[in-house]
Structure 1
Amino acid sequence: MSTTTTTPTSTPPAPEPVRGRRWRADSPLSLGVAGLWLSLIVLLPLAAIATDAFKDGFGGFWDAITTAGALDSLRITVLFSLAVALINVLFGTIIAWVLVRDDFWGKGFVNAIIDLPFALPTIVASLVLLSLYGPNSPIGIHLAATEPGVIIALTFVTLPFVVRQVQPVLMELDTDVEEAAAVLGARNGLIFLKIVLPSLVPAILTGAGLAFTRAIGEFGSVVLIGGNIPDKTQVASQYIQQQIEVDAPVDAAAVSVALLLIAFVVLLVLRVGSGLSRRREEV
């Protein structure tokens, strides 16, 4: 009696479901639209102002930004902007911490008014500050046409940058490590410095850079409270307006390009610093 052995046939793989063609964000069309829009809104205006700045050659550009008035305005602008960035790093981080870690009555209201400087016209901010700290100050503090008045105005319009950069990072932090350190006897200050702060450094640097670059180009918030006093409260944006009024557009464009270069260098340095900090955390 012979036994017939039946070899099982392999089942062919099921065909993959047909999927619709998905639109890719890196498609030539999307890249072309993004590049065109970026060119129209950013690159072409920058190229135009750079062309005006170097209309008389590099020598003319250098002479325009090294005059006494231009150097004074650039120096005042950079120093005030650095001070404002440092102030906002400190108080912006504290405000972000309070909004994330503390519960109190009116928290939603406070969280909402943080973005008020974004929505409020800057000239209105200058008018409000002049009413509060001007010659007719209801609180007896006179800061019109003074350096502190300009710094307060710049601080007002740049505060949200640090708060909104630090706040989401704090919300995503895992508090288990902090609680474990507290159980082991670590003090709150040490926990913040050793555990929390390293995670916040990239966001703090980004917020500081955004606050600095916004401050160096600010005009509306300081136009009334600042007084536009040369070598004292005249910032670069006011100096640029002054050059336009005296029919010196090349000098105005040159100082504008100098501001753009300062902002670009600061943002580049902070971007590199933030990247190095993130890589150090990952290691």
Structure 2
Amino acid sequence: MSLSRTSPSRGNGSAEVIGFYDEDTGSIQYIAMDPATRKAALIDVVMGFDPTNAATDTEGADRILRFAKAEGIEIEWVLDTHPHADHLMASSYLKERLGVPNAIGAKVTDIAALWRDYYNMPDAFAPEQDFDRLFADGDTFRIGDLPVRVMLSDGHTLGSITYVVGDDAAFVHDTFMLPDVGTSRCDFPGGTAHDLYRSLQEILKLPDDTRLFIGHDYGTDDRPGPAWESTVAEQRRHNAHIGGGVSEDDYVDLREARDKTLSLPDRMLHVLQMNLRAGRAPDAESDGNSYLKIPMNRL
């Protein structure tokens, strides 16, 4: 499925947002653009990955680059919200293609330390070398003339971040899903339902009309097509898991019970050891090929 939608700017201080749907993983990839300067950031762009033979491709990322070029959009940043467990990130590829900085949350270093143990690779991963910026909670930067504020939004992972762009757009990754679905899982190593609940509440402190752009959607029986935009007000009133003021304890019980029914993503053990390198494959060995190390019976 090749699907994209534009959320237009609401005026001065408001970003134009184009979302691109990745059918294989149910991921949404974004261009966040300042309409006044036509400068933009790419957020959570996917590199194709086939787990059956560990093959990669750049088809989806290249489609987004072609779109940006055709629309006269100048990419200034390659951003990710966290080291994804369900898709391979295109960060390293895009940085090389575009010659612009790439960035992620500063606590990726803690996530890397956690996964060195799971992979039994004590010398692996150096996020400070593979990413140009490691954003801490409260850090700010600009996309064109639009200010961007970084919020730590842990729970799904211990280092996930939200980008609040301009006056009315927040890229909330794997925290909220659409209101009719609820929220994202938090059972991966380093994630907790308590932390996710608190992150959700911080996002709900944004102004009611803030557009929230989520990381994933898979459709539902009542809503078969994917979608990815809601508002703070809609989530506060109607979110299936926390709408109407659900308590932290009730949310944790619900979220943890749900997570116990979920299987691990089929790409997780493959792509995390690349995503902790900004999507870069391990260094080639003596035969010129790269190899992944998959832990058995650990998760």
**TM-score, length-scaled by structure 2:** 0.23
Q: Higher helix share goes to which structure?
A: 1
Compare CA radii of gyration and give the structure with the larger one: 1
Question: Which of 1 and 2 has higher RCO (CA within 8 Å, sep 6+)?
Answer: 1
